[in-house]
Amino acid sequence: MLERITPLILTYNESPNIHRAIDRLTWAKKIIVIDSYSDDDTVEILQNYPQVEVFYRKFDSFANQCNYGLSKIDTFWVLSLDADYILSQELINEIKYLPEEAEINSYIIPFKYCIFGKPLRGTLLPPRKVLYQPKKAIYQDDGHAHRVIVEGTSKQLLACIYHDDRKPLSRWLWAQDRYMVIEAKKLLETPKGELSLGDRIRKQKILAPWIVLIYCLIFKGGIFDGWHGWYYALQRVLAEILLAIRLIEAEKFPN
């Protein structure tokens, strides 16, 4: 199965992460990277891997970037990854022995979130559809995030991908602020009846940060992960506070 898969990775200033992601993809004959004109050492690091092909595209949205990447895939399967996604060895082995069943068009893979390399007991990151047939797939924007729509049937795998971002806090804050501008726009423009319960709570601004703190520490067991669990919980609380501030700003000072 592995020889029929091309990994696809989006990058922008991912020098703290990209080498760890690529090191778990050495089984791939070709790796496609779509770079948004990084100005750090990302591209220089990628040049050390002969199977990597880098294409450049100015970023406008995650969905457009991913769809452009899919146009560069010529294998039957694509493994769509972020630069901070690290495949577990168990997952590589599981994929290797997957039967090539025509009726399965995509595979859903669970994630384990890491703080400075330590996997947490539980996080807010749900399983995602990342291994699929590119000819049956298209990406759509969903607030600040994106999701892939794949025709046909899916199956969930057992082994995981580690989400292990080592970029500095300043970069995280920069990205979260950008994301929350988009997320606020989505919450304000989507009819209330079409919002999920979680999004309706987030739109109220005050409750969401407290709920996220309790959920991460208690329901997801973060309190048992020591300072790593607190670090993650406080990150998520800060993200919700940024969203609340952006919602207030958008409501009081609309363009």
CA distance 120 to 35: 29
pLDDT of residue 144: 65
Tens digit of each residue's pLDDT (9 = 90 or more) over 28-70: 999 999 999 999 999 999 999 999 999 999 999 999 999 999 9
DSSP state of 215: I
Maximum Cα interatomic distance, the chain, rounded to a whole number of Å: 55
Q: Are 86 and 111 in contact (CB under 8 A)?
A: no
What is the per-residue pLDDT across 171-186, written as a single tens digit (0 to 9) for each?
999 999 999 999 999 9
Write out the H or E segment, with its range, that includes residue 171: helix 169-189
Q: How far is CA 132 from CA 85, 138, 148, 166, 241, in A?
A: 16, 11, 10, 27, 35
Integer Cα distance of 83 and 76 in angstroms: 22
Per-residue pLDDT at 100? 74
Helix (H, G, I), strand (E, B) or coil at 244: helix
Per-residue pLDDT of the chain (255 residues; tens, 9 = 90+): 999 999 999 999 999 999 999 999 999 999 999 999 999 999 999 999 999 999 999 999 999 999 999 999 999 999 999 999 999 999 999 999 998 766 899 999 999 999 999 999 988 889 999 999 999 999 998 766 688 999 999 999 999 999 999 999 999 999 999 999 999 999 999 998 999 999 999 999 999 999 999 999 999 999 999 999 999 999 999 999 999 999 999 998 887
By 3-state DSSP, what share of the chain in percent is helix, strand and coil, each rounded to 5? 40, 25, 35
Residues 6+ away with beta carbon under 8 Å from 54 = 33, 35, 43, 46
Going by C-alpha positions, the residue among 92, 148, 86, 138 that lies closest to residue 112 is: 86
Sequence-distant (≥ 6) Cβ neighbours of residue 94 within 8 angstroms? 157, 158, 159
DSSP string, 46-69: HTT-TTEEEEE---S-HHHHHHHH
pTM higher than 0.75 = yes
Q: What span, in angstroms and rounded, lies between the C-alpha atoms of 8 and 221?
A: 32
